[in-house]
Amino acid sequence: MSAGGITACNFAALAATLFRRKPWLRPRLALLNWTTARDLLGSGSGFFLIQIAGVVVFRSDNLVVSHYLGAAQVTPYNVTWRMVMLTAVLQSLVFPALWPAYAEAYARADYTWMRQAFRFVMRATVALNLACGVVFVSFGKTLIRLWAGQAAVPSTALLAALALWAMISGLMTVESCLLAAVDHTRAQGVLSIVAAALNLGLSIVLVHRIGAVGAIAGTILSYLLVLVVPQSLIVRDVLSGPPCRSHRQTDQLPITSSQ
């Protein structure tokens, strides 16, 4: 219902723009450029795969925990997840401004600025997530008890695992912002789908063995095994060399970690 409401509002705004405010913007088949359309679909396919992977990563754990451990175990897992992922909200305040800046610098081949900005944001993200992780592990149980009651208090292992995931997710989001800005999303999308599938399998196996913490352990392992190293290598290549083709700027951020 939440996603549907946003989509309905977007369609309403589009209809008002095309039929009342700016009718000259209406699409016409005579103006269709198939080369441009293929480029847009190629770029969009990467975002689509990333979105699908995000749904699996961020929505499947509750289902796995509920199915194999019972609904009572979902409460501490979900409440802890929501608290820990508040760090992603702080990161998301920066990326809408950073995205177009990366895109412009890439178009100008200003790799020096891109490297400096990327390193600064990466270090700031590490510092933020480390500080929040210490707070969560040290005081998370007390905060959750005050917030949601005793039934929602997680184990220390679950708190620590989710804090580690917040760190990994934050670093991957910093890289994703750069890759999206320079239109390098296809490989990332494919890797994200593979990681999501592995995540689901590992989560099911580990939940049987170590309980609710196994759900997030499966997510962490899948990202470490499939996504972290290849995506980091792609980022290194982007920052070290000139573009091999023209890249478009875009004004929409992909869904992740933060979710």
Using CA atoms, how far residue 36 sits from 26, 40, 247, 248, in Å, is 17, 6, 12, 11
* pLDDT score, position 244: 46
Q: Average pLDDT for consecutive 10-residue bins of the chain (259 residues)?
A: 82 93 89 84 80 80 88 89 85 82 92 93 92 91 91 91 92 91 85 89 92 92 92 91 48 41
Residue 81: both structure tokens together: 């997840």
DSSP string for 166-224: HHHHHHHHHHHHHHHHTT--HHHHHHHHHHHHHHHHHHHHHHHHHTTHHHHHHHHHHII
* pLDDT score, position 242: 65
pTM for this one? Answer: 0.76
